């Protein structure tokens, strides 16, 4: 409904509810700055106009400070922040993010539709534009046991929610480009009213053509300038990803030109809570892009309008008549650090903190789903035992602390009493993936090199994409203790020594997210990482690579609850070589 009151303010016949004067507005259409006033209508939370306005019920004189549209994250999994949306926004709003396209892919793999519905419910009535891309690939592969399976028919009813803007990243790119019928059914569903997001790392040439011809119009997996340029030339909108795990900004920025910048957006994909708080969110990406030489107005347009246009949300992403009054105030165009964030014309964050009342009062928590960590009753220390079959060598996963890709190593076997054991002296630790959704008792066992634990064990119920419980350790006893500790708290991450929990980060919401305030989660995570270091592991965040060890779609050697997977063969391989 168009508001006659809004138009009356636009015309200047009625005073603005909020008048902002002396603003240097970043105009994302012209990609220039204009000094002007901005008139806002409170009841709709919309911008009535820019220009010659002098009357406001309330007036804020910006004294030449900059005003720009709030930032939009084009693609993120809120689960990576370990916070549900209602808590995530407490970190995001102070950094100027006023909209994000959430793909609830992680919780969907654990809880299916109930998980997606929980996230969508939790995101209601926040001072934030929660947009949704519906998860297209649950489960990610047939080589693991997930908590759910979602087909087109399952997703269809969700598309009626007006917050849905896309079918989320089509990670099964072989399925898409080979015209696998259930995959095409999902894409067709997405294309009925929306866009379909892509996920095709390194896909080039004719296979890329097929993937795009299937209707997939974006990509956030580019890692080289040439890849981004090719995908752009073939019609894809490129989301430059700069998150906590994958960081592609430096590589991709040279692909952006004045004439093609409208085909680029920013996203974080996965962002950890401490990074979010300390470095920032999309504002951090914008600052990095500007420091790397991108025109500030262009960077801001990529962080706002370009994303809104791609997702066909004509009410978001600009400071212009009729647009939602979601904007930020900052002092230095060369280093946009939001001093204030407004949502629908109301101040919601200031100087790095949430504004006191109105914003938070609208937030409400939905009931988190019940615990989602369930093991078979037979689980015991002996479940972790790996009897030798007499092979002379073992296949060992070679983990790199900052990469998702692993090596496939072969090391001499050294069985003790007929079993293969962890050998911390050689940094060969035992790895186990315990199916946690259905109580099947599935347990995948193997070895990993790279964590450098000298004692104890660590474990996590965050394990892409099925999120089974993954534990790495020096002894079966501590691995069991770690698994049991997480089962008890409904999931999370922990460090264990001699059967005792040293530190625990509970993630009771699907084993992925906390129900505590962000500050608590960040503190718990810091304690956990300190405890892990006390076990001998020198890495800044070993839980990041740990969480990707079960993902059988990223090379080369991975472990699921069903066994060891050679990703290049996309099949299981025996432990002994």
How many angstroms separate the Cα of 235 from the Cα of each of 214, 249, 260, 376, 491? 12, 20, 11, 49, 42
Span from 5-13, 370-378, 404-412, 496-504 in contact with its own copies (CB under 8 A)? 5-13
Give the pairing of strands 340-343 and 327-330.
antiparallel
Structural contact between residues 544 and 273, judged by C-beta atoms closer than 8 angstroms = no
Please name the helix (run of DSSP H) or strand (run of DSSP E) that holds residue 265, with its range, or none.
strand 264-267
User: From the list 21, 223, 224, 260, which residue makes contact with its own copies (rule: CB under 8 A)?
Assistant: 260
- Torsional class of 214: left (φ above 0), alpha (ψ -120 to 50), beta (otherwise): alpha
Nearer Cβ to its own copies, position 33 or 518? Answer: 33
Alpha carbons within 13 angstroms on the beta-carbon side of residue 175 total 20
Structural contact between residues 249 and 285, judged by C-beta atoms closer than 8 angstroms = yes
User: From the list 160, 259, 357, 412, which residue makes contact with its own copies (rule: CB under 8 A)?
Assistant: 259
160 binds its own copies (CB under 8 A): no
Span from 157-165, 175-183, 493-501, 551-559 in contact with its own copies (CB under 8 A)? 175-183
User: From the list 188, 279, 407, 427, which residue makes contact with its own copies (rule: CB under 8 A)?
Assistant: 188
The CB-of-222 to its own copies minimum distance in angstroms stands at 14
For residue 447, which of 497, 394, 500, 525 has the smallest C-alpha distance?
A: 394
> What 3-state DSSP class applies to 509?
strand
User: From the list 293, 314, 387, 538, which residue makes contact with its own copies (rule: CB under 8 A)?
Assistant: 314
Span from 285-293, 307-315, 324-332, 432-440 in contact with its own copies (CB under 8 A)? 307-315
- Binders of its own copies among residues 76 to 135 (CB under 8 A) are none
Structural contact between residues 365 and 126, judged by C-beta atoms closer than 8 angstroms = no
How many degrees, rounded to 5, is the angle at CA 535 between CA 534 and CA 540?
70
Other C-beta atoms closer than 10 Å to the C-beta of 83 total 28
User: From the list 131, 195, 512, 522, which residue makes contact with its own copies (rule: CB under 8 A)?
Assistant: 195
Span from 10-18, 269-277, 373-381, 535-543 in contact with its own copies (CB under 8 A)? 10-18
Residue 166 CA to residue 170 CA, distance in Å, equals: 11
215 binds its own copies (CB under 8 A): yes
Nearer Cβ to its own copies, position 41 or 77? Answer: 41
Q: Got the DSSP string for 423-492?
A: BGGGTEEEEEEE--SS----EEEEEEES----SSEEEES--TTTT-EEEEES-HHHHHHHHHHHHHTTSE
Structural contact between residues 414 and 433, judged by C-beta atoms closer than 8 angstroms = no
Per-residue contact string for residues 422-461; x = within reach of its own copies by CB under 8 A: ----------------------------------------
- Binders of its own copies among residues 220 to 249 (CB under 8 A) are 229, 232-235
Per-residue contact string for residues 19-48; x = within reach of its own copies by CB under 8 A: --------x-xxxx-x----x------xxx
User: From the list 207, 247, 360, 533, which residue makes contact with its own copies (rule: CB under 8 A)?
Assistant: 207
# of chain residues touching its own copies (CB under 8 A): 63
User: From the list 132, 266, 311, 323, which residue makes contact with its own copies (rule: CB under 8 A)?
Assistant: 323
The CB-of-171 to its own copies minimum distance in angstroms stands at 17
- The b-or-e profile of 219-256 (16+ CB within 10 A means b, else e) is bbbbeebebbbbbbebebbbbbbbbbbbbbbebbbebb
Span from 8-16, 155-163, 433-441, 447-455 in contact with its own copies (CB under 8 A)? 8-16
What six digits make up the tokens of 142?
Answer: 């047939």
The CB-of-237 to its own copies minimum distance in angstroms stands at 9
What six digits make up the tokens of 136?
Answer: 């297209």
Nearer Cβ to its own copies, position 263 or 516? Answer: 263
Q: Which residues are bridge partners to 133 per DSSP?
A: 166
202 binds its own copies (CB under 8 A): no
151 binds its own copies (CB under 8 A): no
For residue 336, which of 31, 14, 96 has the smallest C-alpha distance?
A: 96
Nearer Cβ to its own copies, position 160 or 258? Answer: 258
321 binds its own copies (CB under 8 A): yes
Residues near its own copies (CB under 8 A) are: 1-2, 4, 6-8, 10-12, 27, 29-32, 34, 39, 46-53, 177-179, 184, 187-188, 195, 205-210, 212-215, 217, 229, 232-235, 257-263, 298, 309, 312, 314, 318, 320-323
């Amino acid at each position: 409904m168009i508001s006659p009151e809004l138009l009356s303010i636009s015309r200047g016949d009625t005073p603005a509810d909020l008048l902002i004067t002396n603003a240097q507005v970043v105009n994302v259409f012209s990609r220039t700055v204009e000094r002007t006033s901005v008139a806002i209508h409170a009841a709709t939370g919309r911008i009535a106009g820019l220009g010659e306005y002098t009357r406001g019920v309330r007036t804020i004189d910006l004294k030449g400070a900059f005003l720009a549209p709030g930032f939009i994250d084009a693609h993120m999994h809120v689960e990576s922040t370990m916070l549900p949306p209602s808590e995530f926004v407490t970190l995001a709003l102070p950094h100027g993010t006023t909209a994000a396209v959430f793909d609830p892919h992680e919780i969907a793999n654990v809880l299916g539709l109930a998980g997606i519905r929980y996230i969508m419910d939790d995101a209601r009535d926040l001072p934030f534009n929660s947009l949704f891309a519906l998860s297209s690939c649950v489960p990610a592969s047939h080589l693991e046991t997930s908590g759910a399976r979602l087909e087109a028919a399952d997703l269809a009813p969700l598309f009626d929610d007006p917050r849905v803007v896309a079918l989320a990243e089509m990670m099964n790119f072989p399925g898409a480009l080979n015209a696998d019928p259930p995959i095409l059914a999902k894409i067709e569903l997405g294309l009925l009213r929306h866009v379909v997001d892509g996920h095709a790392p390194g896909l080039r040439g004719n296979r890329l053509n097929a993937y795009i011809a299937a209707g997939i119009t974006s990509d956030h997996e580019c890692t080289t300038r040439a890849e981004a340029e090719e995908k752009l030339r073939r019609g894809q909108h490129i989301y430059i990803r700069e998150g906590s795990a994958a960081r592609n900004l430096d590589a991709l920025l040279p692909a952006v030109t004045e004439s093609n910048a409208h085909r680029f957006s920013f996203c974080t994909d996965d962002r950890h809570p401490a990074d979010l708080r300390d470095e920032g969110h999309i504002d951090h990406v914008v600052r990095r892009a500007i420091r790397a030489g991108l025109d500030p107005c262009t960077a801001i347009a990529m962080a706002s309008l370009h994303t809104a246009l791609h997702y066909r949300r004509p009410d978001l992403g600009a400071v212009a008549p009729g647009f939602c009054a979601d904007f930020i105030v900052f002092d230095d165009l060369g280093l946009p650090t939001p001093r204030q964030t407004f949502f629908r014309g109301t101040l919601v964050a200031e100087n790095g903190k949430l504004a006191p009342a109105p914003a938070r009062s609208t937030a409400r928590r939905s009931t988190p789903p019940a615990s989602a960590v369930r093991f078979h009753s037979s689980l015991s220390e002996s479940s972790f035992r790996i009897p030798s079959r007499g092979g002379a060598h073992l296949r060992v996963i070679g983990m790199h602390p900052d990469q998702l890709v692993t090596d496939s190593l072969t090391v001499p076997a050294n069985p003790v009493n007929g079993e293969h054991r962890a050998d911390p002296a050689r940094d060969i630790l035992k790895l186990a993936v315990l199916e946690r959704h259905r109580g099947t008792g599935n347990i995948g066992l193997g070895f990993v090199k790279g964590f450098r634990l000298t004692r104890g064990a660590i474990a996590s119920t965050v394990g892409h994409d099925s999120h089974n419980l993954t534990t790495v350790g020096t002894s079966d006893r501590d691995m069991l203790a770690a698994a049991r500790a997480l089962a008890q708290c409904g999931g999370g991450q922990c460090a264990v020594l001699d059967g005792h929990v040293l530190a625990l980060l509970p993630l009771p919401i699907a084993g992925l997210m906390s129900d505590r305030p962000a500050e608590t989660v960040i503190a718990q995570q810091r304690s956990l990482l300190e405890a892990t270091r006390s076990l001998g592991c020198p890495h800044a965040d070993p839980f990041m690579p740990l969480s990707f060890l079960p993902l059988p779609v990223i090379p080369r050697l991975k472990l699921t609850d069903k066994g060891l997977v050679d990703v290049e063969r996309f099949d299981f391989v025996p432990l002994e070589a």
